[in-house]
Amino acid sequence: MKFFVDTADLKEIKDLASTGLLDGVTTNPSLVAKSGAANFVELIREIAAIVPGPVSAEVGATDYETMYEEAKVLAKIAKNIAVKVPLTPAGLKVCKQLSENGTMVNVTLCFSAAQAILAAKAGATFVSPFVGRLDDIGSDGMNLISEICQVYSNYPAFKTEVLVASVRSPQHVVSAALLGAHVATIPPKVIRQLFDHPLTDKGIAQFVADWQKCGQKILP
């Protein structure tokens, strides 16, 4: 399973990239606004230089013509850019054209298996179903991941990867992995939570204490 970090915060991206466990980055307009960056294109250029894997950069427009022009600018920033477009008729039209030209596309704001089928037919590299936002309205986000994974596995010609988005907890990551989702995009805080277990902390404390007691050394 690939891990993308869901943030536009350069400091967080650099820190998490140094773990060697990061496969990519996703941003969206809200995350860019939160980062306080002055220049979106420059921000994406910097992120793409830190992480070699796919960096999702989202268009701002909603009409086909403007979206397509924006997408061309974003795609030129670096080889590892995945242009992010919304799951609308115009977004999928842009997706089809970009993917035919070899540009990676992340189709975002997916909330149904029907939409995920459309994204795959449009040649999306990634489809982003938002599990947390579905849970928030009393629906079952992980059930959507299950449906999409099952549908895609019925059609080997579909090459679109399921990118689980709107992740809120380590349990979301584990559930998505159990279902065989290709990617999870995870907020920095949740990536750090993945490392945590009280028995790991307790075990380390015990080993450190015993090691000091026995006076052994590894380094000369």
Task: Let me know: does 165 contact 6? Beta carbons within 8 Å.
Answer: yes
Among candidate residues 34, 72, 84, 213, the one labeled active-site is: 84
Convert 37-74 to b/e letters by CB count within 10 Å (16 or more is b): beebeebbebbbeebebbbbbbbebeebeebbebbeeb
- Decide whether 90 or 109 has the Cβ nearer to ligand E4P: 109
CB of 26 to ligand E4P, least distance (A): 4
CB of 127 to ligand E4P, least distance (A): 11
- Decide whether 172 or 201 has the Cβ nearer to ligand E4P: 172
Question: For the chain, what is the radius of gyration of the CA atoms?
Answer: 20
- Decide whether 33 or 114 has the Cβ nearer to ligand E4P: 33
State the residues that interact with ligand E4P by CB under 6 A: 6, 26, 28, 108, 128, 130, 132-133, 165-166, 185
Task: Please confirm, yes or no, whether 84 is among the known catalytic residues.
Answer: yes
CB of 187 to ligand E4P, least distance (A): 7
Catalytic residue list: 84
